Amino acid sequence: MGTAAQAAASTPGAGLTFPQGFLWGSATASYQIEGAAAEDGRTPSIWDTYSRTPGKVRNGDTGDIATDHYHRWREDVALMADLGIGAYRFSLAWPRIQPTGRGPAVQKGLDFYRRLVDELLEKGIKPVATLYHWDLPQELEDAGGWPERATAERFAEYAGLAADALGDRVKTWTTLNEPWCSAFLGYGSGVHAPGRTNPVDALRAAHHLNLGHGLAVQALRAALPADAQCSVTLNIHHVRPLSRTEDDRDAVRRIDALANRVFTGPMLEGAYPEDLLKDTGTLTDWSFVHDGDLRQIHQPLDFLGVNYYTPTVVSRADGSGTHTSDGHGRSAHTPWPAADEVAFHQPPGETTAMGWAVDATGLYELLRRFGTEFPDLPLIITENGAAFDDYADPEGNVNDPARIDYVRDHLAAVHRAIEDGTDVRGYFLWSLLDNFEWGYGYSKRFGAVYVDYPTGTRIPKASARWYSEVARTGVVPGA
Ligand code: FCB
């Protein structure tokens, strides 16, 4: 048992005590909350273009205004301080800092994040910056986007600019958020921006995201003080077989390769998995991987960011599952290249407003897996949370008991993983605020704080009060 495990105590009835120093955070992303889409030199990102394309986002919603965080940031930091939240994971909008994706940084863009970070530090909240949460400058997409190698090089340049400007204030950085979504939803199934649907482009994008990550880590390290922490956030899919048959286990292997090992292979082990190269061999010979790329990608990381919402259940296709549903929206195109013989199944049990099954055991198992496979790499849950159909009652209160249950159960899973020896250092609730949920627009509310969109008014939900207590005490009650 490690020290963290010893410090994670559970006394029946008294709740679960997390280790000293465990980070209690909340998370957001630039396009989902900022608004001010055309202010202070910001140019369109692929999400501006995509959301303006008819039929792509529910109700035709865009991030033009979003939660208006660009103007309300001070109020939002005050909210976090009131709630006693210890860390804030936010993302930098690349098109605000480097509007064309090339050349020098725009001062006004940097100033926005400087002010935000100063305010966070002033209130004792640790800033955790993500460089890329999906808002690629449109100009770079016009030049070919992530399927092109040059985008990875541009990304490293931008990382250097961001670190030069904010590195004296921000000590914890992650490069990419969920590159799986960028590559396979953005270029494969097309349910995310830029909405392209070509399986080879999706694989090329995955490689150039990997390369962008590796180059960006090097750019960050060159610009940041030695005590800075660098990482990446992956939406590790916890993949389970529908049955114990050999065929269904092979479906798990195949999806694990396309969802997880396509990133963890090069990033954490310096190689693409052999089975992935073989499975996709009918589509591409992977000659877009150049000599030396894997060395660039395989950079030491200080922790791995893990986003988890729900498990994935697969079988060998026999017509009973669905090939295209992956929980992120429907498309005639698959996000899973060369995996036509795999079917996806809805896991049993209750679901959130996204239709995602609630399954905290999946988080426990995933943490144990990564803790065992990569024992020297600390883990941080950089996103976990749930959407429900929240509303303000006539007294102006938002009661969301189902979200409290969801978060409590997932925190209990994290606690169990720590007790069992996994090095988990923090938990970031997705999300601080209700926000623009990508293809679902404003129809899905993930916030601990309710946003009344017509007025921008923020109302902390019951879950925010509950989480506040957890963050202040480090104890999860009633678990
Ligand atoms: C993740 C994204 C985040 C949010 C949640 C619900 O895939 O990183 O922006 O949309 O899902």
Residue 319, pLDDT score? 66
Residue 444 Cα: closest atom of ligand 1: 6
Ligand 1: centre distance to CA 13 (Å): 33
365 flagged as catalytic: no
Residues 118, 124: Cα–Cα separation, whole Å: 10
Give the distance (Å) from ligand 1 centre to CA of residue 158: 23
Q: Is residue 478 part of a domain?
A: no
Q: Which of 178, 269, 341, 437 is catalytic?
A: 178
- Per-residue model confidence (pLDDT) at position 217: 99
Q: Which of 119, 383, 419, 437 is catalytic?
A: 383
pLDDT at 8: 73
- Here the CATH number for the domain that contains residue 422 is 3.20.20.80
Cβ 12 vs Cβ 74: under 8 Å? no
Please state the φ and ψ torsions of residue 45, each to the nearest 5 degrees. -105, 175
Tens-level pLDDT at each residue, the chain (479 residues): 344 454 677 666 789 999 999 999 999 999 999 999 999 999 999 999 999 999 999 999 999 999 999 999 999 999 999 999 999 999 999 999 999 999 999 999 999 999 999 999 999 999 999 999 999 999 999 999 999 999 999 999 999 999 999 999 999 999 999 999 999 999 999 999 999 999 999 999 999 999 999 999 999 999 999 999 999 999 999 999 999 999 999 999 999 999 999 999 999 999 999 999 999 999 999 999 999 999 999 999 999 999 999 999 999 997 666 544 456 677 889 999 999 999 999 999 999 999 999 999 999 999 999 999 999 999 999 999 999 999 999 999 999 999 999 999 999 999 999 999 999 999 999 999 999 999 999 999 999 999 999 999 999 999 999 999 999 999 999 87
Rounded (10°) CA dihedral 108, 110, 114, 116: 80
* Most informative mutation of 356, 437, 443 for ligand 1 (most atoms within 8 A of CB): 437
Q: Which atom of ligand 1 is nearest to the CA of 32?
A: 9
Distance from residue 237's CA to the centre of ligand 1 (Å):
13
Nearest-CA residue for atom 9 of ligand 1: 29
Q: DSSP per residue over 8-41, as a string?
A: -EEETTTEEEPPTT-EEEEE--HHHH---TTSTT
Question: How far apart are the C-alpha atoms of 72 and 415, rounded to whole Å?
Answer: 34
Which numbered atom of ligand 1 lies nearest the CA of 354?
6
Centroid of ligand 1 to alpha carbon of 14 (angstroms): 32
Substitution site in 31, 174, 191, 307 for ligand 1 pocket (most atoms within 8 Å of beta carbon): 307
- Ligand 1 pocket: which of 30, 383, 403, 435 to mutate (most atoms <8 Å of CB)? 383
Within 6 A (CB) of ligand 1 lie 29, 32, 177-178, 181, 235, 307, 383, 430, 437-438, 446
Q: Is residue 71 part of a domain?
A: yes
Asked whether residue 430 is domain-assigned, the answer is yes
Asked whether residue 345 is assigned to any structural domain, the reply reads no
* The ligand 1 atom nearest the CA atom of 177: 8
pLDDT at 9: 73
Query: Is 119:77 a contact under the CB 8 Å cutoff?
Result: yes
Best residue among 51, 429, 430 to mutate for probing ligand 1's pocket (most ligand atoms within 8 Å of CB) is 430
The C-alpha atoms of residue 360 and residue 311 are separated, in whole angstroms, by 9
Gap from CA of 282 to ligand 1 centroid (Å): 31
Number of the ligand 1 atom closest to the C-alpha atom of 328: 7
Amino acid identity for residue 159 in this structure: A
Is 372 a domain residue?
A: yes
To the query of whether residue 383 is one of the catalytic residues in this protein, the response is yes
For the CA of 29, the nearest atom of ligand 1? 9
pTM: 0.97
Are 234 and 132 in contact by the 8 Å Cβ rule? The answer is no
Distance (Å, whole) CA 169 – CA 111: 13
What are the two backbone dihedrals, phi and then psi, of residue 345, each rounded to the nearest 5 degrees? -130, 145
User: What amino acid is encoded at 470 in this protein?
Assistant: V
Domain count, the chain: 1
Task: Give the other-Cβ count within 10 Å of 253's Cβ.
Answer: 18
Say how many Å lie between the CA of residue 128 and the centre of ligand 1. Answer: 16
76, 193, 73: which is closest to 141 by C-alpha?
193
Residue 323 falls inside a structural domain: no
- What domain range is 109 assigned to? 22-239+284-308+358-473
What six digits make up the tokens of 314?
A: 């697969």
CA of 155 from ligand 1 middle (Å) equals 21
